[in-house]
Amino acid sequence: MPVWRNWAGNQQSRPSVIERPNSESQVAEVVMRAASNKQRVKVVGSGHSFTGIAVPDEVMIDLSNMNQVIEVDEEHGLVSVQAGIVLSDLNAFLETRCLSMPNLGDVTYQTIAGAVSTSTHGTGLCRTGLAAQIESFRLVTASGEIIVCSRQQHEDVFHHGRVSLGALGVITELTLRVIPAFNLRAVEQPMRIDHVLDNYSRLIEEHDFFEFYWVPHTNWALTKANNLSSDPVDSPGRFRTWFNKMFLENYAFGVLCRIGRLFPQLIPRLATVLPSTGRVEYVNISHRIFSSKRLVKFYEMEYSIALESLVPALREVMKMVDDRGYRISFPVEVRCTGSDDIPLSTSTGRRSAYIAVHMFKGSSYTEYFSDVEAILRKFEGRPHWGKIHNLHASEISILYPEFQRFIEVRNQLDPEGVFTNDYLRRVLGR
């Protein structure tokens, strides 16, 4: 059997069978057959998780044949899609209907079901992660039963299943709340990190979507402030866009990372190049600003903490990097979102800040990530389900008030653990 690998190449497996169903009833058949053969089933999206959450060990389901838009209800702002649709295709479709996702992460290679299942998010206090847009979904459970989950039907499964880690069954369709298409005015500029941290509360309140990257070994942050705008699209032209987004952020940055991996002692000097990019301002359709292409491969860990903890937590991370003498070529990313009520969402019940650390693919990351993790755990940090971390169920259960109830729902829907794998056993306890 062919080897399955995730995007970063740090997870791989050799599933015994790969199924590519064309319909919900075929999904149910695959699940029932596997369950009666005592085989485990794993649906894989685009493989963009860094953890083993999507690693298939026996039956792998690939939903790339179930990637269509089913229905749009423009009047009520709803779109129904098959679970395997990739976010970039969904965005392109919504654009043709003058509609938009309210928020996105920084790439759109993921499938919609994969993205919501790990609590994927972007930035902006006025918005939540993607899963909070779900109005209903259809689920094939371990017994092969197909259930519709919404606030009116199977309410408990709906409540827990919007961020399910793939542990409750196979989502085949989702209905999402969407909003009228909107443009964003983006201002990207370097600022002194002390200025950003001293003014953090103001910056995130003042801008609709604010994020920044602290550049290790410098006193600089690269900031991105995106604001809703009624101005027409005014992007810098195709060459300039390619130069900024592809050349600087991918090719040139990739070269810096390669040099840094070969000669780590040069990283502090190379890092001073990053803040020299200057200020850029442009207006574009929201999804073109939220997300861009990522050609440089890396490993990533990301924790969510309460918004108020961001400044002390990041200052501790910065000090630790200096004290430990690490050589880090990737900027540390900081975002925020509003709170939601989804039990396993990383921003459940609290407005959240996110600190993400990255290492260039092929570099050793374990020590650096563990040191950052130790700091963020002191701030009751919750790890991103799809990004590297070391936590177990006993540690995770105290971070989520509704964790036990999620486990009960899972026990009812999948008593034999048809949808489990090693990662789920670690973080959910079986």
Nearer to ligand FAD by Cβ, of 47 and 275: the residue is: 47
**DSSP strands (E only) in 253-376:** 280-285, 298-306, 332-337, 352-360
Between residues 42 and 154, which has the closer beta carbon with respect to ligand FAD?
Answer: 42
Residues 26-65, interacting with ligand FAD (CB under 6 A): 42-49, 53-54, 63
Of 51 and 217, which has the nearer Cβ to ligand FAD?
51
Segment lying near ligand FAD (by CB under 6 A), choices 114-122, 186-194, 310-318, 357-365: 114-122
Minimum separation from the CB atom of position 272 to ligand FAD (A): 25
* Binding of residue 118 to ligand FAD (CB under 6 A): yes
Do the Cβ atoms of 318 and 215 come closer than 8 Å? Answer: no
| Nearer to ligand FAD among residue 7 and residue 282 (C-beta) | 7
Q: Segment 363-392, which members bind ligand FAD (CB under 6 A)?
A: 384, 386
Q: Parallel, antiparallel, or unpaired: how do β-strands 17-19 and 59-62 relate? A: parallel
Show the site string, 212-251: x = touches ligand FAD by CB under 6 A, - = not: ----------------------------------------
Distances (CA, A) of 375 to 34, 276, 303, 319, 348: 42, 30, 10, 11, 21
Nearer to ligand FAD, 28 or 171 (CB): 171
In the complex with ligand FAD, which residue's Cβ is closer, 10 or 218? 10
CA angle (291 as vertex; 54, 104 as ends), nearest 5: 65
The secondary structure of residue 160, as a DSSP letter, is H
Region of 16-24, 112-120, 147-155, 396-404 interacting with ligand FAD (CB under 6 A): 112-120
358 touching ligand FAD, by CB under 6 A: no
Nearer to ligand FAD among residue 190 and residue 386 (C-beta): 386
Nearer to ligand FAD by Cβ, of 108 and 284: the residue is 108
Q: Do 122 and 143 form a contact (C-beta atoms < 8 A)? A: no
Q: According to the binding rule CB under 6 A, does residue 426 interact with ligand FAD?
A: no
To ligand FAD, the closest distance from the beta carbon of 334 in angstroms equals 12
Using CB atoms within 10 A of its CB, is residue 268 exposed (0-12), middle (13-18) or buried (19+)? middle
State CA 392 to chain mean position distance: 20
Least CB distance from residue 384 to ligand FAD, whole Å? 6
x/- mask, ligand FAD, residues 147-186, rule CB under 6 A, reads: ------------------xx---xx---------------
Q: Amino acid identity of 87? A: L
Q: Which residues contact 30 (CB under 8 A, 6 or more apart)?
A: 19, 21, 41, 59, 61
Cβ 124 vs Cβ 101: under 8 Å: no
The smaller minimum CB distance to ligand FAD, of residues 246 and 320, is found at 246
# residues contacting ligand FAD (CB under 6 A)? 32
Please give the structure tokens belonging to residue 325.
């003498």
- Is-contact 244 186, C-beta < 8 A? no
Query: CB–CB of 349/399 below 8 Å?
Result: no
What is the Cα–Cα distance from 163 to 166, expressed in whole angstroms? 8
Q: How far is the CB of 231 from ligand FAD (least distance, A)?
A: 25
Question: What minimum distance in Å lies between the beta carbon of 249 and ligand FAD?
Answer: 12
Q: Is 278 left (phi over 0), alpha (psi -120 to 50) or beta?
A: left
Residue appearing with tokens 């602290």: 214
* DSSP string covering 46-75: S---SSGGG--SSEEEE-TT---EEEEETT
CA distance 336 to 311: 12
Q: Which of 408, 420, 386, 265 is nearest to 329 (CA)?
A: 265
Site for ligand FAD in 281-340 (CB under 6 A): 294
Closest CB to ligand FAD among residues 217, 314:
314
Least distance in angstroms from the C-beta of 134 to ligand FAD:
12
Q: Which two tokens stand for residue 22?
A: 């064309």
Largest CA distance in the chain: 61
Is the CB of 113 or the CB of 409 nearer to ligand FAD? 113
By rule CB under 6 A, what string of x and - marks binding of each residue 69-108 to ligand FAD? --------------x---------------------xxx-
- Interacting residues toward ligand FAD by CB under 6 A: 7, 42-49, 53-54, 63, 83, 105-107, 110-111, 113-115, 117-118, 120-121, 165-166, 170-171, 294, 384, 386
